[in-house]
Structure 1
Amino acid sequence: MKFMREYLLKYKAYIVILLIIILFLIAGYEYYEKYFYVLKDPERIKEYVMSFGKFGYLVFLMMQIIQVIAFFIPGEIIQIASGYIYGTFLGTITSVVGITIGSIIVYGIAYRFGRPFVEKIVSERDLKLFHRILEIGSMKYIIFLVYLIPGLPKDVLAYFCGISDLKFKDFAIYSTLGRIPGIAISSYFGANLISGNNVTLIIIAITMSIIFILGVIKGERIIKSIVH
């Protein structure tokens, strides 16, 4: 028993990292094999959430938190579902709270276990991208812009921030502020799915698609232009 206790204490960091990786694998399996069809459809998400009765709100909040930690889960659909279920205002608040909590957890995980862990779950391409972007100017304002501009891998960025020189307080504030406009638009879109206002939905979808494509292609250049 003493040997086992000493072994666990010596390698506790590696054990925790292994458990987190296992959690990722389980979440990936559950998502792709069981819940992919649910997460593509706001109505199915609503049915799933409402099946928990009075605990439905907490379940949905947990879904928002998990989609940030397991960044391969499409957060946009869940944000749209938030507006679809709770309306624009409460849906926005719910998504902001859940995503902020998830981002804080991610930052803490990365801060605690360091670069070796982050390099195991974040691609080298994304790490190089964030290295370049965060060297453009003041780190906290760059973080705000990255979270504001659609098309950049925001949830992955939270892991990178945990191993950067960015203070936790600045990360929490500026990442949340940057997310709010996009979350509000997604919630508004979801709320309008019920009303059947197709013109509004089409305008929002086309506009956000164009902005998203520009963010993917020109995101880094846009940030440089704004900062300079």
Structure 2
Amino acid sequence: MHSDRTPEQEERSYRRRRKAVSLCSLLGLIGVFLFITFTFGSRILTFASDPEGFRAWAQGQGILGRLALIGIQVLQVVVAIMPGEVVEIAAGFTFGAWEGLLLCLTGSVLGSIIIYGFTRRFGVKMVEAFISREKMDSLKFIHNSRKLELLIFFLFLIPGTPKDVITYFIGLTPMKLKTFLVLSTIARIPSVISSTMGGNAMGLQDYRLAIIVFAITVLVSSIGLLIYTCIVKKHNGKH
């Protein structure tokens, strides 16, 4: 089925999709924050004065607290505008480094499945609604890579790369969902555990360790982002 629309009409349609998704994403974020505020607001206010007490209370919420964290992580992956590190630090602070890691990875897997399913079903137009054409163009080298699995593992292993943006592109490649989930989940572990460890240190009020972990994470992420930028420029012929 081909389209008889002119380039100008296609551009206007693209802009409308972008605006609609941006509005829905914003409303979704507002909805989540309002829910958290009205449900846990009074307890969150105790964080500054009694972080240890808040941590104990949050851990005592049982499955509800875990599901809420997973839901926020899914939203973070799908919306792709929220910084993942914030959610990961909160997970580490609330549930500890290792449980926080497990919850974040679970949310990432669920979010990736959602994105993969939608991109397979609706194709590039769906992706363009979430990711700008400029970013899409910069990632075209992924689709043309002869060593796709190795490249994806490497990109998800490097701290600082736009993993959620790359996730949107995966559904446009020949890679199978199972393969992508295994590679990306394993590769995410070092980056996520560093954030949950820092959050856990904050929960234990070991601020010296937290500062050290976050400083190392920022340094490594900056190096990773530089490496990613060089990879993109190299594959797109921009020297």
Matches within 5 A, 1:18-33: 21=21, 23-30=24-31
Q: Deviations over 1:64-89 (max 9, x none)?
A: 11111111112111111111111111
Report deviation, 1:33: 8.7
- Number of aligned pairs? 202
Counterpart pick for 1:207 among 188, 203, 216? 216
Residue number in structure 1 paired with 2:237: none
TM-score where L is the length of structure 1: 0.75
Report deviation, 1:194: 2.2
Q: Deviations over 1:31-71 (max 9, x none)?
A: 789979x9xx9x59x78x94994422211111111111111
Matches within 5 A, 1:3-14: none
Residue number in structure 2 paired with 1:175: 184
In 2, Cα distance between the equivalents of 1:112 and 1:120?
14
Residue number in structure 2 paired with 1:12: none
**Kept in 1: contact 2:70–2:103 (CA 8 A):** yes
Structure 1 residues 224 and 177, CA, compared in 2 at 3 Å: closer, same or farther?
farther
Report deviation, 1:217: 2.5
In 2, Cα distance between the equivalents of 1:32 and 1:62?
12
The residue matched to 2:165 in structure 1 has which SS? helix
Report deviation, 1:23: 3.6
In 2, Cα distance between the equivalents of 1:51 and 1:93?
15
From the two aligned structures, give the one with the greater helix fraction.
Answer: 1
The residue matched to 1:172 in structure 2 has which SS? helix
Matches within 5 A, 1:187-226: 187-221=196-230
Structure 1 residues 131 and 211, CA, compared in 2 at 3 Å: closer, same or farther?
same
Are 2:133 and 1:124 aligned?
Answer: yes
Residue number in structure 2 paired with 1:13: none
Report deviation, 1:162: 0.8
**Kept in 2: contact 1:145–1:223 (CA 8 A):** no
Counting aligned pairs with the same residue, the percent is 28
**Kept in 2: contact 1:133–1:220 (CA 8 A):** no
The residue matched to 2:80 in structure 1 has which SS? coil
Structure 1 residues 219 and 107, CA, compared in 2 at 3 Å: closer, same or farther?
same
TM-score where L is the length of structure 2: 0.72
Amino acid at match of 1:26: L
Are 2:124 and 1:115 aligned?
Answer: yes
Matches within 5 A, 1:33-72: 43=47, 50=58, 53-54=61-62, 55-72=64-81
The residue matched to 1:91 in structure 2 has which SS? helix
**Kept in 2: contact 1:82–1:91 (CA 8 A):** yes
Counterpart pick for 1:145 among 141, 154, 157? 154
Counterpart pick for 1:165 among 171, 174, 178? 174
Q: Deviations over 1:153-211 (max 9, x none)?
A: 11111111011121112111111111111111111111111223333222222211112
Residue number in structure 2 paired with 1:87: 96
Residue number in structure 2 paired with 1:5: none
The residue matched to 1:95 in structure 2 has which SS? helix
Residue number in structure 2 paired with 1:98: 107
In 1, Cα distance between the equivalents of 2:132 and 2:172?
15
